[in-house]
Each structure stands twice: as structure tokens, then as C-alpha cells.
């Protein structure tokens, strides 16, 4: 300790660092360490974009940012990360983003994509064993099968919320396998069906 006028200055010795530690801007910034997990929007776009061409990747980046601002995609730590802090996305957002990109290619509006996204997010977490959650448990199982590439799984969408109480979710979305039949509500003439197995197979590593 050193006395400087009326102030007392305490000198601390630096902590020893491991010899094999590689110092980078990430190891020197605690926030960078916190945000190191996950994908940047550019990394996410490169995996989802139809091709590796620059124009396709940039167009996908714009889509992803729009969907994030609309809460259709949920980054790690929330949408507003603060100035100079890049958003990061968990691996599950790759698959949800791929479904949104496929449906957006047919002109579905952002409100519909948000509804699809919220329902897909409900498939990510294992539901409880309550009898009323049986449908959601089946959806969770089928979603994981599609992600793992085990068998063929389809996602069917039949209109607005609450059209068909037989559907797995309130969003009018349903996951089903080839042996199942997608029931179209009586007041609807058609249904939107996505082959998740094919969509996920196109994703880049």
C-alpha cells in the first residue's frame, strides 16, 4: 500500500495466467465471452440461404433481421442487445428460420410467419406428462425426428387460430408422418404442407 497525499493507493499484483492461454479480444472482454455461444446473423444466413452466392446470403440476412425484429426469431439474450453488441442465435433457430424461409418463399405474410414460429417454439421444450399434453408431446417427438433426419415428417398449416381443435396446437399447425392424414377444416379448401425432412436436409453445416 502506498500513501499519496490524503489518498491511499493499493497496488495489486496481476494474477498469473496459464502458459497455454491464447489472449484475444474475446478473452479480454467478459461480455464477448457471454455472447460467444451461438451463431451470428451472417452465420445463420449462410446455413439457411438457398445458395452460397453473396446476393442470396445478404437477402437472407435481411429476412432474418426482419423476423427477429418481429419476434418470429428469438436470439440469445433478447432482441435488443445494445449498441455494438451483435445478436447471437441458438442452434434451434436454424431450423425455425429454415421453415420460415420456406413458407416466406410462397408469400406468407409476417403475421402468419410469427404464428408459425411461436407454435414451433412450443415444440422445442419437452412438455409435461399431463394427459392434456399428449398432442404436444407427440409434436415434440416428431420435431426432434425431423431435426435428426429420422424418417419423413411434415408440417401442416390449416388457416387461422382455432380452426380445428384436433390440431396439436392452437396455431392451426400440425406435425404428422406419411402414414397420417392432414385434416383440412370444413371451412377451408386447402392446407399448406411443408416437408420438414427435405427443408432440413438442405441446411448447410
DSSP assignment of the chain equals -EEETTEEE---PPPP--TT----HHHH-HHHHHH-SSB-HHHHHHHHSSSS-HHHHHHHHHHHHHHHHTTSS--BT-S---TT---BB-THHHHHHHHHHHHHTTT--HHHHHHHHHHHHHTTSPPPS-GGGHHHHHHHHHHHHHHHT-S--EEEE-SSTTS-TTSSSTTSEEEE-TTS--PPPTT-S--EEEEHHHHHHT---
**How many structural domains are present in the chain?**
1
pLDDT attached to residue 70: 93
Q: What is the pLDDT of residues 174-184, one digit of tens each?
A: 787 776 666 66
pLDDT attached to residue 23: 45
Answer whether residue 17 is part of any domain: no
pTM: 0.72
Answer whether residue 87 is part of any domain: yes
Answer whether residue 16 is part of any domain: no
Domain span including residue 124: 26-201
pLDDT attached to residue 157: 75
Answer whether residue 21 is part of any domain: no
Answer whether residue 11 is part of any domain: no
Answer whether residue 105 is part of any domain: yes
Q: What is the pLDDT of residues 78-115, one digit of tens each?
A: 555 555 556 899 999 999 999 999 999 999 899 889 98
Answer whether residue 15 is part of any domain: no
Answer whether residue 12 is part of any domain: no
Amino acid at each position: 500500500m502506498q500513501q499519496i497525499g490524503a489518498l491511499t493507493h493499493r497496488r495489486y499484483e496481476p494474477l498469473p495466467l496459464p502458459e497455454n492461454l491464447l489472449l484475444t479480444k474475446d478473452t479480454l472482454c467478459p461480455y464477448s465471452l457471454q455472447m460467444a455461444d451461438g451463431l451470428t446473423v451472417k452465420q445463420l444466413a449462410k446455413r439457411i440461404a438457398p445458395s452460397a452466392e453473396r446476393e442470396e446470403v445478404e437477402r437472407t440476412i435481411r429476412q432474418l433481421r426482419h423476423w427477429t425484429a418481429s419476434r418470429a426469431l428469438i436470439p440469445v439474450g433478447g432482441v435488443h442487445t445494445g449498441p455494438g453488441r451483435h445478436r447471437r442465435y441458438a442452434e434451434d433457430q436454424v431450423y425455425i428460420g429454415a421453415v420460415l424461409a420456406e413458407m416466406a418463399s410462397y408469400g406468407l405474410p409476417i403475421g402468419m410467419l410469427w404464428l408459425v414460429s411461436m407454435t414451433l417454439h412450443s415444440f422445442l421444450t419437452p412438455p409435461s406428462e399431463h394427459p392434456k399434453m399428449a398432442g404436444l408431446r407427440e409434436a415434440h417427438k416428431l420435431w426432434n425426428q425431423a431435426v435428426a433426419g429420422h424418417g419423413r415428417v411434415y408440417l401442416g398449416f390449416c388457416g387461422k387460430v382455432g380452426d380445428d381443435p384436433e390440431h396439436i396446437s392452437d396455431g392451426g399447425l400440425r406435425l404428422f408422418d406419411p402414414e397420417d392424414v392432414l385434416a383440412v377444416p370444413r371451412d377451408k379448401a386447402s392446407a399448406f404442407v411443408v416437408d420438414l425432412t427435405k427443408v432440413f436436409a438442405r441446411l448447410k453445416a
